[in-house]
């Protein structure tokens, strides 16, 4: 499980940087490209955040609750 925290931090930083770029965009093309690149941030840090939660909780009822929360969140999205 090497690299989960690194991917989480880098994905969050990627999202912040491209969101700032989108905030100061001067035209529509720059805004669209910045929002597209910003979407790669959550694609990096959401799976690694689930991996980090799985490594923190040991098997049992509490870890099953985390899995239930993830399933509910995925069905909402």
What confidence category does residue 2 fall into, taking pLDDT thresholds of 50, 70 and 90? Answer: low
**Cα 38 from chain centroid?**
10
- Give per-residue pLDDT as tens, 61-73: 666 777 777 778 7
Query: What does the block give as tokens for 64?
Result: 């099953």
Residue whose pair of structure tokens reads 């689930």 in the numeric block: 50
Query: What does the block give as tokens for 24?
Result: 């100061």
- Give per-residue pLDDT as tens, 27-64: 999 999 999 999 888 888 877 877 777 777 777 766 67
Query: What does the block give as tokens for 49?
Result: 């955040």
Domain ranges of the chain: 4-76
């Amino acid at each position: 499980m090497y690299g989960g925290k690194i991917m989480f931090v880098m994905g969050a930083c990627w999202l912040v940087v491209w969101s700032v770029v989108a905030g100061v965009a001067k035209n529509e093309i720059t805004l669209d490209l910045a929002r597209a690149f910003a979407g790669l941030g959550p694609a990096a840090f959401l799976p690694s955040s689930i991996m980090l939660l799985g490594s923190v909780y040991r098997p049992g009822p509490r870890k099953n609750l985390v899995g239930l929360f993830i399933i509910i969140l995925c069905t909402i999205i």
